[in-house]
């Protein structure tokens, strides 16, 4: 878990500080599959701007998630370029919209912030390529490597009369 203590910056109202940080990221479990963030720890840039009304926190990081494709289970890589911003009012006075959940006692939880941003940036499915054909529902072969179709099986003649009734 990576935290950053804002007190080490010693900035006043109107000042801005930039720090290069490395954020430890935990693997993301999605649909029962584990996706590993790369690189880990991820290099990032944290920018802190103090104003008389509060503090603006900005985080920029580029990371990739590596794990199985949702359709064919081959290796997939999802590159993400994240540019994040949070605001903490100097006197929030109970208004949750003026607070960030990642800042407590002048310590920013960078790992939690990055994890939540990665989860929000995910597409519906992580695919090895946009046109992935997936696995054959009959035999389980990878349709990207071996495109094929199965011949429809003939019905057992003992069920023929039932098929005729169904068609009526």
Share of the chain above pLDDT 90, in %: 55
User: In whole angstroms, what is the distance from residue 141 CA to residue 144 CA?
Assistant: 9
The pTM for the full model equals: 0.79
Residue 155's pLDDT band, with cuts at 50, 70 and 90, is low
pLDDT in tens, 94-120: 666 778 889 888 899 999 999 999 999
Amino acid 6: pLDDT: 86
User: In whole angstroms, what is the distance from residue 126 CA to residue 72 CA?
Assistant: 11
State the virtual CA torsion across 102, 114, 34, 27 in degrees, nearest 10: -80
pLDDT in tens, 42-91: 999 999 999 888 889 999 999 999 999 999 999 999 999 999 999 988 77
The rounded mean pLDDT for the chain is 89
Nearest CA among 65, 46, 59, 54 for reference residue 119: 65
Structure tokens of 84? Answer: 């994040």
Cite the DSSP H helix spans in 46-159.
110-121
Residue 153's pLDDT band, with cuts at 50, 70 and 90, is low
């Amino acid at each position: 878990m990576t935290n950053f203590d804002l007190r080490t910056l010693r900035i006043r109202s109107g000042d801005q500080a930039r720090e290069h940080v490395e954020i430890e990221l935990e693997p993301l479990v999605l649909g029962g599959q584990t996706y590993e963030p790369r690189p880990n720890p991820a290099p990032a840039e944290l920018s802190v701007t103090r104003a008389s009304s509060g503090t603006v926190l900005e985080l920029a990081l580029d990371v990739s998630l590596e794990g199985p494709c949702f359709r064919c289970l081959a290796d997939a890589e999802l590159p993400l370029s994240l540019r994040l911003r949070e605001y903490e009012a100097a006197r929030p006075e109970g208004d949750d919209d003026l607070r960030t959940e990642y800042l407590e006692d002048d310590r920013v939880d960078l790992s939690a912030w990055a994890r939540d941003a990665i989860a929000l940036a995910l597409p519906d499915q992580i695919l090895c390529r946009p046109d992935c054909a997936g696995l054959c529902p009959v035999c389980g072969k990878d349709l990207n490597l071996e495109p094929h179709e199965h011949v429809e099986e003939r019905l057992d003649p003992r069920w023929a009369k039932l098929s005729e009734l169904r068609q009526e």
